[in-house]
Structure 1
């Protein structure tokens, strides 16, 4: 075959043997030498593994040989018949390839030229002749020699329509690639036009497409020419799509640059027009910030930082994305009240009057607040514990904070923490983030314009935590008097002094507050209101407020004492007064309707009128019924909305001694039931119980209202009394309620929420109560008028509970236990 003169191709490919990664141009030959090799012929050839490229029949390529084995091979072959086998490596990183590292199909090649370069490397120019399939490696030293079988491809006739269509499609795709890729020399189109052999055209294009070695090897291994042409066309169309996309992106970028230049000139013109018309532009905005900064009283560190930032703003193009971010940051620096604060009014008599006017009752709470203000007056700083007002909803925790702000003549800020799960709500975002803003602490200070407000952190027990951080932990620095003088917001990036702020937190439950956060606060318990207190609050605050809100006066409507009591007892059961205010509002709306329609109506609200407007009472004053059933005992429970009474019911039936618990009990109540049963078994002899009862009967303990989850360490002695009653079939003393935890040895432990529980028992008509003796101090703190008609027993041991609670008489129709 006549050797063709090398020409430039339209693609550059990475071609190297084992140690070479140089970029070398592909140089095509003409076509496969079909006269030399016969399909199926077996040959022994020196085998040269190459990496990062695939040699196709008819194609001429240069290869730089670096490894000693490869150098020996090509030199010996060049002195002989110049024929070698070239095969691609599967793993280009392998420096000592074995048979398993090589593909099974390669190309027989002729060494056209051997060159030794000045740097010592050896370069050979080879031309592919025919494909072969690797049969076996005969030897590996001094170089690899392999036994191979010659392969020939099957391709339709040149004159067939299908062949002509494939050739035309391939040439069109190649021409399109040439037009889209400016890096390819134009001479490549001439070379493409001169190729007439379909088989060589495919080899030539396969060698030059922008594809991985794996894809090129797959093209080489195909023996069906039609299938290879189809696969090759797919690769070329993908490359066309990539080139078109690249061209489109470059065109857009160029267009964007042109647009930016156009915007710059337009902005310069707009600036001149703004100056002429007196409209404030970016420069005026910067000057305005500088004037505000001159009037600010702030630390030198902040002043230097502001000067640095405003200088940076003045150097930036107003059209850039960074400009509004820096402007907003400088505005925050100027608007924050660094040293602006109100003058405190420490008239404690006035403060006492304001608290008494705004809040009825809560004497202990108000006394503690006045003490706090007295220390603040003497000390002139707030380096002390943060107040946390803790109690059920609707008792006036948040409004207490507003009253304190009014008494001190300070600004008032309220920040609700309910449901806050993002730490950035407290600490702010980094300025680098899109949509970054300071934390809500600084936002509120900027809004109120004072550095020493009364700051209410509402619902501090309802913060959560997730992948965005833990707000409770972020509050540690805010509420620690030792740290909050140097509070750093992520957005501000400067220390801000929060120590002048009077922080007051509110919470409904202490269990969900972070322990370290709780340690930084002084807990002031705000208990629920009694019936009498609710009536006074309604007369002094709620009724006048609702009358005013509904456009009525005192002459339009008034409440009878019994009527107001009917609303409190029959339609509300809560610690606070929110529900009471809603019910009063409903009554006054009904009156307002009659006034507006000019109808006759009853101005005095009596119990009958209450029932006419609000309907049948929702709550029954007397919840307790009787003590005729064994195993039914009244317990006392604390909830976030105040105290409630609940019943513990126990029943026995023939079985195998199983204990069944129901009523959605939590783990603590389940353990209380288990402990009570164990105590009962231990002291069965004292209670004159037959031990066989525990084995022959199943015990079921149930707490009614099964849809309501219940838990807590307050039901121990109640469950024990219920079990003792059902096993002995003795009656429980009438109108008796109890609360307290029990141990296995029978000790009664103190519990919390005593005031709420006592008030709940009083509402339900209980006459006697049982508490742990250690709760005596809690009972004594309750106003005498609320406990004067209650007989309260203080106990230390479970035996005392049973002696008080169980009567000697048995219930009617007691269970007749089978003693066999």
Structure 2
């Protein structure tokens, strides 16, 4: 049978699909839709209803609506207002839109009305099975949905014709309009039956999942409500008993946690601990432990930063104002600040300031913090032997607390302070753990972004901390830790530098400390020089400051007990304030002597000269070493005698000389231990002088190590050794050739008045040292 083509008024529906055999009412507000319905009433009361693809389209065309719609009979019109009409329609047949003939004043379409296909059911059992299956589905769906009336379900269940059953179910089940459109477009009955069944089953599964989620949410809400009510009741009870502080503290902690600027991991941990805090009302001990932990976490500046100062000129002014000299150190700090400014990164190298006591290592770190305009925290590591001092104690221990690093960050109040780790070379290790290994994580820029303190139990970011470490020596620092730090050596001060430091820093500081003005007490430059030269023996200026303080105290007493208004300290009256001179320097010998050579040594208080004496006596070839010599100096002496024996023919020494004579090497001040690889050539020269009887120049000093073949090896502490030679009145100094580059770095103040001669072999040393 051919399908009939008809011309009908058309209404485009938004969000609604009309199915055949479906009776439904809907509201119409668009002028063209109202006109189309009125025209349908004038004609045969039939209208073509088709769904829009998008409900947003205001004036739909043929491409804006679906191709398949429904021819419906208009049953009733109710005018609700001037612009709204309610229409009751009954779906009749499916129809396919061929074209829209008119668009004004209403839509008129040419449609092809589709006749329902005749279906053949194989046998009654098949039809009965399909009907029962669909009826069971619709019964279960109606029970879960709750929007289908019992009367409608009863009417559907009374239907005995399969085709009519499918159409009724499709028309009366509240599916989405797109799903109904899909069923409307399906012309094959068997496919329509399968799709309808599948959609109903899917809808039921969705409703089951929705019910499960709602049940879980409801249970959770009920649980929270129950906890809230119980907590409020408990709060009232404790208020009646006068014990409501726990809850008020917990509320304060909750409020502080909500305001805390910290990583999510930290906040989660904090919320968990606050929950435990609320539940430990009966246990005061546990409650106190948790309270302390929460307060510690809240005090840590997790994301709080101090702004970096990027003004290099300001930093230079601060360093110059705080310190005299130390040009290399200042230059390195300014370079570090310049790179930090250009990269705008918080990460920075770990600087290790190494030098003798009193040379200003700690004060340099303070000046760096001042130049950066950041908080400064000093952590003394001297004598620290427990790993927990660095990493913190676990909360299970009584009296547990964070480690010194985390505590320093908490004290600073920002996550990027300047942190000074003082005396890192004096850290020790015992059975409680390796402290140096704990410091490895702190000072490693690749690891310290997630430093884990045992007490905090959450990662602490140390990557933006500016670490400065100080040490007197590098000998006791393990190599892996040393590798993570950039070494800056701070050498001894010259007496001229000490003079300037005293005039610009120490004297004003001590005058203010003792309540004395410049008009009441003054120092001459010669007096300060004499204090540094004869009353102190140090690389730094700490003892010098003490002596100046000693003078200030005596001057304060004199100002108050006499009628003097001003006191002037000079080199002539200095002994009245400080007594007799404490130190004197062994000056160069007046004339060349046999077997006596002046050596140079480095000590913890600067440089010093060593006068090495050698005597040769009849004997059995023994070598005697006295004067508290260490192992290194003993080996140097033996290497020296071996070298002398190897060149004995050149110096006309008898072959049996060393078998018939004993050699005694002595360094005066026998009670003072002496060691180090710098006296080899000195002892060899003294021994050869004693053996050959040739005199050694009195105005000459030397330093360097010797090999068996007579090569001269380089030494350290050259600056201090040259200063010692200058103080002793030495004019010529022999040094290893490999130390020539070190001489070039020294200021003219140190090298002025000294003839510094580099030597590569022992032969060159002997030519210059021995007189003809």
TM beyond 0.5: yes
- Deviations 1:743-798 (Å, cap 9, x if unpaired)? 11111011111111111111121111010111011011111132120011100000
Residue 491 (1) aligns with residue 455 (2): yes
User: Match for 1:332 among 286, 291, 296?
Assistant: 296
TM-score, normalisation: structure 2: 0.68
User: Could you say which residue in structure 2 is the equivalent of 1:779?
Assistant: 743
5 Å matches for 1:353-432? 353-432=317-396
Q: Bigger CA drift: 426-435 or 787-796?
A: 426-435
5 Å matches for 1:667-678? 667-678=631-642
- Deviations 1:636-691 (Å, cap 9, x if unpaired)? 11122211111222222221111111222221111111111100110111122123
User: Could you say which residue in structure 2 is the equivalent of 1:79?
Assistant: none
Residue 440 (1) aligns with residue 404 (2): yes
Q: Bigger CA drift: 681-690 or 274-283?
A: 274-283
Q: CA deviation at 1:345?
A: 0.9
Q: CA deviation at 1:468?
A: 1.3
- Deviations 1:101-151 (Å, cap 9, x if unpaired)? xxxxxxxxxxxxxxxxxxxxxxxxxxxxxxxxxxxxxxxxxxxxxxxxxxx
Q: CA deviation at 1:392?
A: 0.7
Residue 479 (1) aligns with residue 443 (2): yes
2 CA distance for matches of 1:728 and 1:790? 29
Give me the CA root mean square deviation. 2.0
What secondary structure sits across from 2:336 in the alignment?
helix
Residue 703 (1) aligns with residue 676 (2): no
User: Match for 1:344 among 287, 291, 308?
Assistant: 308
Sort the Cα spacing of 1:573 and 1:476 in 2 relative to 1 into closer, same or farther, 3 A.
same
User: Could you say which residue in structure 2 is the equivalent of 1:531?
Assistant: 495
Residue 556 (1) aligns with residue 507 (2): no
Say whether the 8 Å CA contact 1:594–1:600 is kept in structure 2.
yes
Residue 515 (1) aligns with residue 496 (2): no
* The structure with more radius of gyration: 2
Say whether the 8 Å CA contact 2:734–2:756 is kept in structure 1.
yes
Sort the Cα spacing of 1:602 and 1:554 in 2 relative to 1 into closer, same or farther, 3 A.
closer
1 CA distance for matches of 2:619 and 2:625? 15
Residue 716 (1) aligns with residue 680 (2): yes
Q: CA deviation at 1:622?
A: 4.7
User: Could you say which residue in structure 2 is the equivalent of 1:686?
Assistant: 650
Say whether the 8 Å CA contact 1:643–1:759 is kept in structure 2.
yes
Q: CA deviation at 1:276?
A: 6.3
User: Match for 1:768 among 723, 729, 732?
Assistant: 732
2 CA distance for matches of 1:569 and 1:499? 45
Residue 600 (1) aligns with residue 564 (2): yes
Q: Bigger CA drift: 310-319 or 745-754?
A: 310-319
Say whether the 8 Å CA contact 1:591–1:601 is kept in structure 2.
no
User: Could you say which residue in structure 1 is the equivalent of 2:589?
Assistant: 625
- Deviations 1:339-381 (Å, cap 9, x if unpaired)? 1121111110010010000000011110011001111111122
Say whether the 8 Å CA contact 1:389–1:505 is kept in structure 2.
yes
User: Could you say which residue in structure 2 is the equivalent of 1:70?
Assistant: none
User: Could you say which residue in structure 1 is the equivalent of 2:255?
Assistant: 291
Sort the Cα spacing of 1:694 and 1:280 in 2 relative to 1 into closer, same or farther, 3 A.
farther
Say whether the 8 Å CA contact 2:347–2:465 is kept in structure 1.
no
Q: CA deviation at 1:594?
A: 1.2
What secondary structure sits across from 1:807 in the alignment?
coil
2 CA distance for matches of 1:704 and 1:725? 18
Residue 455 (1) aligns with residue 419 (2): yes
2 CA distance for matches of 1:396 and 1:470? 29
5 Å matches for 1:548-587? 548-587=512-551
User: Could you say which residue in structure 2 is the equivalent of 1:466?
Assistant: 430
Residue 738 (1) aligns with residue 698 (2): no
1 CA distance for matches of 2:612 and 2:244? 76
Q: CA deviation at 1:475?
A: 0.5
Sort the Cα spacing of 1:606 and 1:449 in 2 relative to 1 into closer, same or farther, 3 A.
same
User: Could you say which residue in structure 2 is the equivalent of 1:640?
Assistant: 604
1 CA distance for matches of 2:567 and 2:284? 69
- Deviations 1:616-653 (Å, cap 9, x if unpaired)? 11122453334554222111111222111112222222
1 CA distance for matches of 2:438 and 2:302? 21
What secondary structure sits across from 1:509 in the alignment?
coil
User: Match for 2:760 among 791, 796, 806?
Assistant: 796
What secondary structure sits across from 2:685 in the alignment?
helix
The unaligned stretches of length 5 or more in structure 1 are 1-267, 809-820
Q: CA deviation at 1:602?
A: 5.8
Say whether the 8 Å CA contact 1:509–1:640 is kept in structure 2.
no
What secondary structure sits across from 2:573 in the alignment?
helix
User: Match for 1:301 among 265, 269, 274?
Assistant: 265
- Deviations 1:466-513 (Å, cap 9, x if unpaired)? 111221111001001111101111111111100110001111101111
2 CA distance for matches of 1:745 and 1:570? 41
2 CA distance for matches of 1:310 and 1:624? 76
What secondary structure sits across from 2:654 in the alignment?
coil
1 CA distance for matches of 2:311 and 2:295? 37
2 CA distance for matches of 1:722 and 1:502? 51
1 CA distance for matches of 2:591 and 2:257? 78
2 CA distance for matches of 1:282 and 1:557? 62
Q: Bigger CA drift: 765-774 or 639-648?
A: 639-648
Q: CA deviation at 1:319?
A: 2.5
Q: CA deviation at 1:434?
A: 1.8
Say whether the 8 Å CA contact 1:383–1:482 is kept in structure 2.
no
1 CA distance for matches of 2:558 and 2:238? 62
User: Could you say which residue in structure 2 is the equivalent of 1:545?
Assistant: 509
User: Could you say which residue in structure 1 is the equivalent of 2:194?
Assistant: none
The unaligned stretches of length 5 or more in structure 2 are 1-231
Say whether the 8 Å CA contact 2:352–2:488 is kept in structure 1.
yes
Greater than 4 Å deviation, 4+ residue runs: 268-274, 276-280
5 Å matches for 1:142-153? none
Provide the aligned length of Structure 1 versus Structure 2. 541
Sort the Cα spacing of 1:273 and 1:447 in 2 relative to 1 into closer, same or farther, 3 A.
farther
Sort the Cα spacing of 1:378 and 1:709 in 2 relative to 1 into closer, same or farther, 3 A.
same
User: Could you say which residue in structure 2 is the equivalent of 1:263?
Assistant: none
What secondary structure sits across from 1:700 in the alignment?
strand
2 CA distance for matches of 1:430 and 1:623? 61
2 CA distance for matches of 1:393 and 1:766? 26
2 CA distance for matches of 1:423 and 1:743? 43
1 CA distance for matches of 2:236 and 2:691? 98
What secondary structure sits across from 1:555 in the alignment?
coil
Q: CA deviation at 1:317?
A: 2.9
Say whether the 8 Å CA contact 2:235–2:247 is kept in structure 1.
no
- Deviations 1:436-491 (Å, cap 9, x if unpaired)? 21110011111221111100111111111111122111100100111110111111
- Deviations 1:80-117 (Å, cap 9, x if unpaired)? xxxxxxxxxxxxxxxxxxxxxxxxxxxxxxxxxxxxxx
Sort the Cα spacing of 1:280 and 1:453 in 2 relative to 1 into closer, same or farther, 3 A.
farther
User: Could you say which residue in structure 2 is the equivalent of 1:185?
Assistant: none
User: Could you say which residue in structure 2 is the equivalent of 1:503?
Assistant: 467
User: Could you say which residue in structure 1 is the equivalent of 2:579?
Assistant: 615
Q: Bigger CA drift: 790-799 or 759-768?
A: 759-768
